[in-house]
Structure 1
Amino acid sequence: MIRFILNNKIITTSEHSGMTLLDFVRYKQRLTGTKIGCREGDCGACTVLVGSLENDVINYQSITSCISPLGNAHGKHIVTVEGTNLQNKLTVTQEAMKANYATQCGFCTPGFVVALTGFTLSNSEKNHNNTLDAISGNICRCTGYKAIEKAALEIVSKLKTQNSMDWLVENDFIPDYFKSIPKRLKELEAKDINQPRGKYVSGGTDLYVQQADQLADNLVHLIAEKDYLKGISIQNNACVIGTNSTVSDLWNHRKINSYFSNLKKHLKLVSSEQIRNMASFGGNLVNASPIGDMTIFFLALNSDITITNEKGSERSIPLKNFYQGYKTYDLKEGELLKQISFQLPTKHSFFNFEKVCKRTHLDIASVNSAIHIHIENQNISEAHVSIGGVAAIPKYLHETSKFLSGKPLSSNTIIEASNVLQNEISPISDVRGTSDYKRLLGRQLFFAHFTELFPKQFTLNDFVQHA
């Protein structure tokens, strides 16, 4: 049985754990404020909050319920727009949306209200930019966004730096019942669900876009709450990331951010906050998309992956050897990715990630690329370069990386390496661009790594006029 709290109500259900949380909320509970939009996690109309109890403290995150399995709600607090309502008056968030005329047809409004309410509950620094990040996965087709941005700014202006649950209740941000949720979740008898043998599903953000109907009708084995697949640790300049960890886990990890100065800038290019809160790294890797953003990220870090099976046996391989062909990889029946490990950047090494897509955020890349390069006395001692969208697999550039290693850090070296890169890639024409366009992007993103990492030494003109 699946047990969780939905708004202020305890839910016990034997519904199929693979059905979407959105369908359960709308069709089984008749909470129709949560809207059906794209069913791909792109529009945010179905946004709900998920509260997880950790060490007696509840942590709320926004997710898109259209691509989240119902079973992942087990033991959690799920909040829909109806669950944000006060008695006989509007919340601060609802009033800000109204006062700034931030709604027209109203279809998207519940998703914005829930996402902004989630921001007030979050540990994020309370500034305008972070508020806009909170609604980065919400689309409105009427207002032109300026009215919504004004509403967001008004909400931030009324928040303190630290906002306790009691303070949020007293100041009309959330209803009073929120204060009882930590105790009720602790008392909720939500033991592990008996998991059938079926398709492994963690966050589900890739699988549910492609296979929602099949997953709702067939057996699924939910692994998002498996502790042995969680966590991020750092030891001896090496980072180990459990494959159930999410992009948000990386985003919020202070020590990781100290090693990657532009980490949040890079990760902001990876989907929306709602998706970053739920998508697992393991799922991204085994989806095997040739343009998987985090796959390209980890390839450039020359990562190793640890694979485990049902008997507990483990094996490790370089991630660059994992992919064997389009959507095929070195993973046997009953095996799971357990963790990703890599050496962190040092004072002599530099990392960069670049991505081009049709819109800046929440879009699939036309081409993406990453580099991790080690410099000693103006010489490249080691280089790892990856690129997506130009081959049948997420591509680690073996020849380009080898060519760079041992060469002086100069425009001539970089131009020559870009020619090696062109011989390594084999893009095809598709909806994201022609093969010639992707070759151009591959070259320009490669140059962009160096202009971004060494702005005092290189400009784009140093490369373009010779390329």
Structure 2
Amino acid sequence: MIEFILNNKIIRTSQNTGMTLLDYVRYEKNLSGTKIGCREGDCGACTVLVGSTTNAGNVEYKSITSCISPLGNAHGKHVVTVEGTNLKEKLTVVQQAMKDNYATQCGFCTPGFVMALTGFSMSNVEKNSTNALNAISGNICRCTGYKSIKNAAESVCQKLDYDKDGMPLDWLIENEFIPEYFKNIHEKLSALNTKTVNQNNGKVVSGGTDLYVQQADNLMDNSVNLISNNEHLKGIKINQGICTIGSNSTVTDLWNHTELNQYFPNLRQHLKLVSSEQIRNMASFGGNIVNASPIGDMSIFFLALNSNITLINKENTERTIALKDFYKGYKTYDLKEGELIKSIHFKLPSKKSLFNFEKVCKRQHLDIASVNAAIQIEVKDNFITNAQVSIGGVFAFPKYLEETSAFLKGKELTETLIIEANTILQKEISPISDVRGTSDYKRLLARQLFYSHFIELFPDTFSLNNFVQHA
């Protein structure tokens, strides 16, 4: 039995755990404000909020795309659709901002924008225009009314003038951002039977953000083995210079981790290139790695950190392997029957170590890469003491560039070295022509992103002019 709160009502259902949350709220509960658009998590028309009880005892809300979220993942949580944000006799601040700025256009996508901006209003992030736009980076307006929607987002920011950290529920309710029933949600969640749903059989699913794009019809009609709520697969820990990330952790968990942001000053800038806020709130690292996509952003990210992964089977027997040895071919990997990825771990960078992630895709937000690349490099007295380079979109799986990395180590960092290293890189990759670009185009991108690492990390030494003549 799946138990959760839908808006202000407790739901108990025996529907298939693999049914999508979108189909449940629309067709079983007739809450049609949550729209069906792409069914791939791209358009944001199906955005809802999901509230979970934190270790601190409060309820934290995040936006997700319900079209690729299994119903079973709602177990023990508070799901809010656009109907659940309504006040009794007037519009909420977010709804009014959309109306006042003529940001509704045809209206189809409006509920998704309202939900994303409401989630932003309830979050602990700084209330500025940049973060508001981040919150709606996974929403698409079919009528291209972006300017008016941006104006609405800025209007919401101006009204979020609470002078302390965080936005307490009482303040949000009093100032008409959310309805009054939110006050009692924590108590209602505590009364739910949160015992894990019986789901030992079927396809293993965590966030589902890729599986439900590929296999939605099959998954919706069957029970699935949901692991996203398994606590032993969650969390980010730092101990004795090693960072261990549970496979159920999300990009948002990484984004919000204060200590890791100190080790990686540009972390959020890099992670902003990874999908949208809704997807970053859902997708698990373990799923990204096991998906084995040749352009998996986080796989490329972790490869450049020379990461290891720990695998665990049903008997709780563990084994650890290097992530670069995990992939064996296109969509094939070293994962035995009954095994799951338990965690990813890597050595934290030293003060001399630099990291960079680059990605080229057809639009700025929420798109898969044509080519993506990452590097971790350490330089002392202008000699490279360590280098780890990875690249995606140019091989059958996420590629750790073994020969290129080895070639860089121990050599003086010069323009000539970088150009020679690119020659090695080109021999290590074998791109194919597909919808993301021709093989020649991808080789060009691989070269340009490799050069970009050095331009970005060593701006006083290298610029675009250093490499133009070698184009």
The reply to whether residue 8 of structure 1 matches residue 8 of structure 2 is yes
Which of 172, 181, 186 is the equivalent residue of 1:177? Answer: 181
Q: Which letter maps to 1:321? A: D
* Residue aligned with 1:409, SS: coil
Task: Give the Å deviation of 1:143.
Answer: 4.2
CA contact (8 A) 1:201 1:224 kept: yes
* Aligned position for 1:346: 350
Separation (CA, whole Å) in 2 of partners of 1:282 and 1:167: 37
Task: Please state how far the C-alpha of 1:464 moved relative to its aligned partner.
Answer: 2.6
1:39 counterpart letter in structure 2 = R
Matched pairs, number: 467
* 8 Å contact kept, 2:103–2:145: no
Which of the residues 299, 306, 311 maps onto 1:307? 311
Picking from 187, 194, 200, the partner of 2:191 is: 187
Question: Which runs of 5 or more residues in structure 1 are unaligned?
Answer: none
| C-alpha RMSD of matched pairs (Å) | 0.8
Trace 1:421-440 onto structure 2 (pairs within 5 A). Answer: 421-440=425-444
Contact 1:102 1:143 in 2 (8 A): no
Report what 2:377 is aligned to.
373
Structure 2 match to 1:25 = 25
Give 1:461 deviation, angstroms: 1.5
User: For each residue in 1:158-193, what CA deviation from the matched residue of structure 2 results, as whole angstroms up to 9, or x when unmatched?
Assistant: 112442100100010000000100111011122111
- 1:250 is paired with a residue whose SS is helix
Q: CA deviation at 1:235?
A: 1.5
- Give the deviation of 1:217 after TM superposition: 1.7
Say which SS state the counterpart of residue 208 (structure 1) adopts: helix
Contact 1:196–1:219 at 8 Å: present in 2 too?
Answer: no
Alignment of 1:322-361 (within 5 A): 322-361=326-365
Any idea what SS the aligned residue of 1:445 has? helix
TM-fit CA distance, 1:199? 1.1
Deviation >4 Å, runs of 4+: none
Structure 1 residue 332 displacement after superposition: 0.7
Separation (CA, whole Å) in 2 of partners of 1:154 and 1:438: 42
Q: Which segment is superposed worse, 385-394 or 457-466? A: 457-466
Q: Secondary structure at 2:370's aligned position in 1?
A: strand
Deviations for 1:366-394, whole angstroms, at most 9, x for unmatched residues? 00000001111111011110000001111
CA distance in 2: counterparts of 1:454 and 1:439, whole angstroms = 23
Partner residue, 2:112: 111
State the TM-score, normalized to the length of structure 1: 0.99
Identify the residue that residue 242 of structure 1 maps to in structure 2. 246
Match of 1:201 in 2: 205
SS in 1 for 2:185: helix
Deviations 1:100-134 (A, max 9, x none): 00012100000000111111111111111000000
How many Å separate the matches in 2 of 1:39 and 1:143? 20
The C-alpha deviation readout for 1:198-237, integer Å capped at 9, x for no partner, is 2110000010000111111233100001011000011222
Of 443, 448, 451 in structure 1, the residue corresponding to residue 452 of structure 2 is 448
Identity of aligned residues (%): 70
Q: Would you say the 8 A contact 1:103–1:143 is kept in 2?
A: no
Question: Is the contact made by 2:34 and 2:45 (CA closer than 8 Å) also made in structure 1?
Answer: yes
CA distance in structure 2 between the partners assigned to 1:218 and 1:157 by the alignment: 46
Structure 1 counterpart of 2:134: 133
* Distance (whole Å) between structure 1 residues aligned to residue 424 and residue 353 of structure 2: 22
Equivalent-residue separation in structure 1 for 2:129 and 2:123 (angstroms) = 14
1:48-447 alignment, distance < 5 Å? 48-55=48-55, 56-159=57-160, 160-161=162-163, 162-447=166-451
Q: What is the CA–CA distance in structure 1 between the aligned matches of 2:10 and 2:71, rounded to whole Å?
A: 14
Partners of 1:112 and 1:182 in 2: how far apart? 25
Q: Is the 8 A contact 1:96 1:154 kept in 2?
A: yes
SS of equivalent residue, structure 1 residue 365: coil
* TM-score, normalised relative to structure 2: 0.98
Q: CA deviation at 1:144?
A: 2.6
In 1, Cα distance between equivalents of 2:413 and 2:324: 25
Residue of structure 2 equivalent to 1:39: 39
Contact 1:309 1:336 in 2 (8 A): yes
One-letter amino acid matched to 1:5: I
Task: Give the secondary structure class of the aligned counterpart of 2:177.
Answer: coil
Q: Which amino acid aligns with 2:454?
A: F
Q: Distance in 2 between matches of 1:232 and 1:184?
A: 29
Q: Is the 8 A contact 1:45 1:111 kept in 2?
A: yes
Structure 1 counterpart of 2:48, one-letter code? V
**Deviates most, 321-330 or 49-58:** 49-58
Give ranges in structure 2 of 5+ residues lacking alignment: none
TM-superposed deviation, 1:430: 0.6
1:55-77 per-position Cα deviation (integer Å, ceiling 9, x unaligned): 32000000000000000000000
Question: 3-state SS of the aligned residue for 1:168?
Answer: helix
SS in 1 for 2:215: helix
| 2:105–2:145 Cα contact (<8 Å) kept | no
